[in-house]
């Protein structure tokens, strides 16, 4: 029987050597004539273990962490040639690793498990169950389920998704759009990148459901130019989805038409702001538009437009497949469901942690993150991106909840946490923030509000 070996194609894993490991494995498999299939999966999000190589066994997938090409010969022997079972890089059954086991993975349920561009893998792991439900409902009922789920925008502003969709649904127009914001500009955030590289069909499915809900026929994904690997995976996934009838003139035989176009951004931070992004999609400079009108009413090319973040949209398939309350049962207060949190910067176990709202910063930093990478005490963290806040250690007991954070003068934003140890020079971080805002201002207001925030 063919044995599968999994080596992530996630770009962070590649940055840590995954392609070299895959090449070495291909060579050793060929020279041994072994019955092995090498699968390039997405990343589990345990970036601190990447490249994390997994082998399928009778007792589940066994992992080997931080593998280099030099390990491959001995690893291959451990896996197949009956060498002693233990290898120094072994981390045991992957699903039992506490970092992974203690998460609540709804949005990231498939990441690292599947081959991102295999539609068979997607279908075999609950994929397109949400769309099937959506196709059996009228538009109003889909919007109602999303509203009931309590899902709020994960791009930063935390606006209720169902309410936004309802506005677009109620705007009569022949042409409506779904625009996915994949500009992910904040330092410390990579959940959009990991979704697109690791589970692109989830985003495609989420956008298709959004289209059915509001009556849109065309979608755009505005993807930052700093993500060439995500672009490659998503381009491939779009072709496959079209070839299998999940996009196009007649989505799943429903006579409904929806297609998605991938658009590459061009390195302007302000284009993450939704109206600036719409200007950019129209081929202009990314100057922020005055609101009102809301994009929901007059958005792309003046038409009613849903603008949602990648993670917002890829949370939708779970909600439709499992029902509003299955999602809403997670979380606290008015922050319902889960958030894919990204642990970044000076942290020992950096990576993606999807947890229900209500988890504390302390739990994230120490139980998951294992403290700083340098071993020195953590002094502060930045959350909510450059427009967010630095939070001192005295506030690390804050629970992740939109309202708790705003009461403390902070914001969760896109859920990226950048950790700094005691050697951080706050004056130079402030200088950097000023410089960044000066570079990234769209130049419409004088003086730019962005930099005023930091003065």
Partner 1 sequence: MVSTNQEAVISAALEKHSSTEGALLPILHEIQDALGYIPSDSIDVIGKGINRSRAEVHGVVSFYHHFRTHKPGRHIIQVCRSEACQAVGAVEVIEKLKRTLGIDFHESTLDGQITLEPIYCLGHCACGPALMVNGEPRAKMTPDHVDNLVNELRTKNHDD
Ligand X SMILES: Cc1cc2nc3c(=O)[nH]c(=O)nc-3n(C[C@H](O)[C@H](O)[C@H](O)COP(=O)(O)O)c2cc1C
Q: Which residues bind partner 1 (CB under 8 A)?
A: 11-12, 14-16, 47-48, 50, 184-190, 192-194, 225-229, 263-269, 280-286, 301, 342-347, 350-352, 373-374, 382, 386, 416, 418-421, 424, 429, 432, 436, 439-440, 442
- CA separation (Å) from 273 to 51, 147, 277, 449? 34, 23, 6, 14
Give the nearer residue to ligand SF4 in terms of CB position, either 140 or 449.
Answer: 449
Site string for ligand SF4, 263-292 (x = CB under 6 A): -------x-----------------x----
Give the nearer residue to ligand X in terms of CB position, either 25 or 227.
Answer: 227
**In the complex, minimum distance from the CB of residue 6 to partner 1, in angstroms, rounded to a whole number:** 19
The alpha carbons of the chain give a radius of gyration, in whole angstroms, of 22
Number of chain positions touching ligand SF4 (CB under 6 A): 10
Number of chain positions touching ligand X (CB under 6 A): 18
Decide if residue 387 touches ligand SF4 (CB under 6 A). no
Enter the DSSP assignment of 118.
Answer: -
- Contacted by 441, from partner 1, ligand X, ligand SF4, none: CB < 5 to 8 Å by type: ligand SF4
Decide if residue 453 touches ligand X (CB under 6 A). no
Instruction: Name the token pair of 264.
Output: 């590459």
Give long-range contacts, CB 8 A cutoff, 24+ apart: 273-281: 274/179, 274/181, 274/307, 276/442, 277/179, 277/181, 277/183, 277/222, 277/307, 278/179, 278/305, 278/307, 280/222, 281/179, 281/220, 281/222
Positions 231 through 270 that interact with ligand X (CB under 6 A): 270
Sign of torsion over alpha carbons 270, 275, 276, 280: positive
Decide if residue 438 touches ligand X (CB under 6 A). no
Measure the CA–CA gap between 300 and 211, rounded to whole angstroms.
15
Contact 116, 9 (CB under 8 A): yes
**In the complex, minimum distance from the CB of residue 165 to ligand X, in angstroms, rounded to a whole number:** 10
- Contacted by 449, from ligand SF4, partner 1, ligand X, none: CB < 5 to 8 Å by type: ligand SF4
**In the complex, minimum distance from the CB of residue 437 to ligand SF4, in angstroms, rounded to a whole number:** 8
Among 157, 163, 408, 445, binds ligand X (CB under 6 A): 157
Q: Which stretch binds ligand SF4 (CB under 6 A): 105-113, 168-176, 406-414, 443-451?
A: 443-451
**In the complex, minimum distance from the CB of residue 448 to ligand SF4, in angstroms, rounded to a whole number:** 3
Q: Which stretch binds ligand X (CB under 6 A): 34-42, 182-190, 315-323, 354-362?
A: 182-190
Cβ neighbours, 10 Å, residue 406 = 12
Give the nearer residue to partner 1 in terms of CB position, either 180 or 344.
Answer: 344
- Contacted by 346, from ligand X, ligand SF4, partner 1, none: CB < 5 to 8 Å by type: partner 1
- Contacted by 448, from ligand X, partner 1, ligand SF4, none: CB < 5 to 8 Å by type: ligand SF4
From the centroid of its chain, how far is CA 80?
35
Decide if residue 442 touches ligand SF4 (CB under 6 A). yes
**In the complex, minimum distance from the CB of residue 453 to ligand SF4, in angstroms, rounded to a whole number:** 9
Contact 26, 34 (CB under 8 A): no
Question: What residues pair up with 275 in beta bridges, in sequence order?
Answer: none
Q: Which stretch binds ligand SF4 (CB under 6 A): 210-218, 335-343, 398-406, 438-446?
A: 438-446
Helix axes 72-80, 18-31, angle to 10 degrees: 50
Helix axes 191-198, 228-243, angle to 10 degrees: 40
Contact 340, 112 (CB under 8 A): no
Decide if residue 445 touches ligand SF4 (CB under 6 A). yes
Instruction: Name the token pair of 161.
Output: 């998704």
Instruction: Name the token pair of 244.
Output: 């299998």
Start-to-end Cα distance in the chain: 64
Measure the CA–CA gap between 255 and 253, rounded to whole angstroms.
6
Which stretches of the chain bind ligand X, using CB under 6 A? 153-157, 159, 181, 183-185, 270, 272-274, 307-309, 312
């Amino acid at each position: 029987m063919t044995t599968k070996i999994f080596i992530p194609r996630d770009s962070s894993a590649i940055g840590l050597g995954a392609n070299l490991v895959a090449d070495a494995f291909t060579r050793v498999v060929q020279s041994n004539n072994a019955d092995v299939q090498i699968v390039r999966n997405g990343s589990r999000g345990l970036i601190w273990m990447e490249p994390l190589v997994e082998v399928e066994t009778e007792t589940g997938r066994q992992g080997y962490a931080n593998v280099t090409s030099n390990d491959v010969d001995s690893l291959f022997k451990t896996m197949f040639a009956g060498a002693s079972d233990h290898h120094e890089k072994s981390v045991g059954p992957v699903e039992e690793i506490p970092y992974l086991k203690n998460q609540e993975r709804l949005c990231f349920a498939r990441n690292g498990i599947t081959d991102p561009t295999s539609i068979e893998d997607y279908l075999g792991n609950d994929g397109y169950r949400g769309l099937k439900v959506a196709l059996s409902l009228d538009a109003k009922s889909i919007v109602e389920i999303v509203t009931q789920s309590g899902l709020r925008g994960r791009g930063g502003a935390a606006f209720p998704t169902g309410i936004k969709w309802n506005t677009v649904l109620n705007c009569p127009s022949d042409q409506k759009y779904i625009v996915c914001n994949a500009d992910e500009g904040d330092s410390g955030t990579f959940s959009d990148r990991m979704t697109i590289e690791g589970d692109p069909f989830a985003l495609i499915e989420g956008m298709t459901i959004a289209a059915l809900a509001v009556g849109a026929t065309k979608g755009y994904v505005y993807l930052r130019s700093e993500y060439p690997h995500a672009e490659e995976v998503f381009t491939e996934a779009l072709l496959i989805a079209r070839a299998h009838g999940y996009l196009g003139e007649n989505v799943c035989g429903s006579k409904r038409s929806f297609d998605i176009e991938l658009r590459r951004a061009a390195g302007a931070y302000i284009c993450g702001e939704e109206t600036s992004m719409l200007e950019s999609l129209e081929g202009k400079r990314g100057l922020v538009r005055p609101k009102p009108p809301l994009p929901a009413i007059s958005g792309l090319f003046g038409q009613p437009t849903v603008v949602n973040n990648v993670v917002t949209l890829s949370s939708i398939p779970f909600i439709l497949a499992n029902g509003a309350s299955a999602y809403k049962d997670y979380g606290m207060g008015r922050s319902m469901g889960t958030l894919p949190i990204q642990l970044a910067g000076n942290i020992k176990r950096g990576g993606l942690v999807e947890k229900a709202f209500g988890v504390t910063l302390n739990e994230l930093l120490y139980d998951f993150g294992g403290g700083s990478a340098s071993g020195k005490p953590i002094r502060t963290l930045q959350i909510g991106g450059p427009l967010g806040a630095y939070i001192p250690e005295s506030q690390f007991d804050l629970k992740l909840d939109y309202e708790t954070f705003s009461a403390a003068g902070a914001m969760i934003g896109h859920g990226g946490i950048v950790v700094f140890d005691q050697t951080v020079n706050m004056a130079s971080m402030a200088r950097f923030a000023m410089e960044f805002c000066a570079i990234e201002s769209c130049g419409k207001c004088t003086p730019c509000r962005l930099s005023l925030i930091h003065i």
